[in-house]
Chains A and B, each alone.
Chain A
């Protein structure tokens, strides 16, 4: 049977409540946009396979509830991610200010070497804009991240930003990928590799834990 994919890994969407994380995800995986959908409770995910430079990449994209207190649940998922989208809403200054807090949570809970990009969503709502594009660029530069303004509504920069983060994760794992090319019958599961690594260190959480 032909391989369904070469590499599998996990991306995570974080950011304030209502910035459009679920809409970004639905646009990317199903090319759908619903102006009104229900608020995300807890954590959910969708899958998509994309082709990057001839490599079939299966990505599991985790969508999280943005409300602060749900972090007690969602932070448990950070450690399982290889790439993270930090999302704010260009029509909400507050959501932009909070990126600082989200970034420091990533530092605290995500694995070292996790790839990040900054997203300013709702770029179609120019008339309500509170955060200038240069502000987004400046912040991204400070954190050493790539930056995209996107619109799930008009399908602007969606594919580009998801593909970019995927490329970044691939680049960060180039060594494992080269190994893959040698033994081309195997699939590379970055997610499991890293978790196994942690288990070997004895630092993995007990499996009976609720997280």
Chain B
């Protein structure tokens, strides 16, 4: 097994295509096995998408587009499709020049700038494109988008967690202004009140998850109740960071494909799928820290890496 992993390690880059360093203990052998199969899926999906996009790039909502999105948007079409289905494209077109003017204004807001700067070095330190010495350095792009957004949506301003979301938007779109408008679509329309000062949307959704678990996976709900574990401790990162740094990047992007099209219900589906899949394992927990550890463990491994299969279960 180890030799397998070592030879796979020679073939697979230590840094993934988005710039993230693979963590210590990364299972290269099973990743290679997964990726060789996933490549076939990606190629097939890319052909189907190209054919559809040749007819029209409008990506109008409908049963076919929904099905296509569920099966994954190819990398080359992802920025465009996210922009179209989320309404970000329309916003950007109706407000030419807005991004740059709001950025200029925001740069004068010292309190906002300070809050953003505190987190620049703490956003994806494991991603080579976000290092201080990277060229171009995405820290600057990140800074700009967050400052502009904080100025644009003064109620929200800057909230920790937005740095990770914006970072992914920048990696995917490679475009500052598009990242801004996608952030606006997410925070303003798709996940309202997640990051506002009272975080009501976030708290509500976590509570709703608790109720759903009680209905659908009562044994787990009972366990959590018995050990007096707070849902916020188990799933805050899932909701606040929309699974970034929780699940593997390919899986996160597949979830976000659905998030932009279908909205936040996909977050519940993913959470429930994870808990259900690992119900027996979670139920082995004997005390409070055990429960927390199990909830961290279930976000790793084959089940979540196989993103295509994982999304089909949803």
Contacts and interface: CB of A to CB of B under 8 A. Distances in A.
Interface in A37-52: 37-45, 47
B240 A42 contact: yes
A18 B122 CA distance: 9
Contacts of A43: 232-233, 236
Interface residues of A, dominant DSSP: loop
B124 interface: yes
Contact of B236 (A34, A41, A208): A41
B292 interface: yes
A5 to B, nearest CB: 12
B245 interface: yes
Interface residues of A, number: 29
B230 A210 contact: yes
A207 interface: yes
Interface string B292-308: 10000000000000000
Contacts of B160: 17, 39-41, 65, 67, 70
Given A17-B118, A207-B225, A38 B232 contact: no
A154 interface: no
B77 to A, nearest CB: 30
Contacts, number: 84
Contact of B232 (A39, A45, A211): A211
Given A36-B121, A211-B230, A69 B236 contact: no
A38 B245 contact: yes
B237 A210 contact: no
Interface residues of B, number: 36
B166 to A, nearest CB: 13
Contacts of A34: 125
Nearest to B214: A208
Contacts of B24: none
Interface stretch (B68-76, B197-205, B277-285): B197-205
A93 interface: no
B270 to A, nearest CB: 17
A195 interface: yes
Contacts of B230: 76-77, 210-211
Contact of A42 (B118, B122, B164, B237): B237
Contacts of A77: 230
Contacts of A76: 230, 232
A36 B292 contact: no
A207 B232 contact: no
Interface string B169-210: 000000000000000000000000001111100010011001
A111 to B, nearest CB: 16
Contact of B203 (A17, A207, A208, A210): A210
Interface string A23-59: 0000000000010111111111101000000000000
Interface of B: 115, 118-119, 121-125, 159-161, 163-164, 195-199, 203, 206-207, 210, 225, 228, 230-233, 236-237, 240-241, 245, 288-289, 292
Interface of A: 17-18, 34, 36-45, 47, 60, 65, 67-70, 72-73, 76-77, 195, 207-208, 210-211
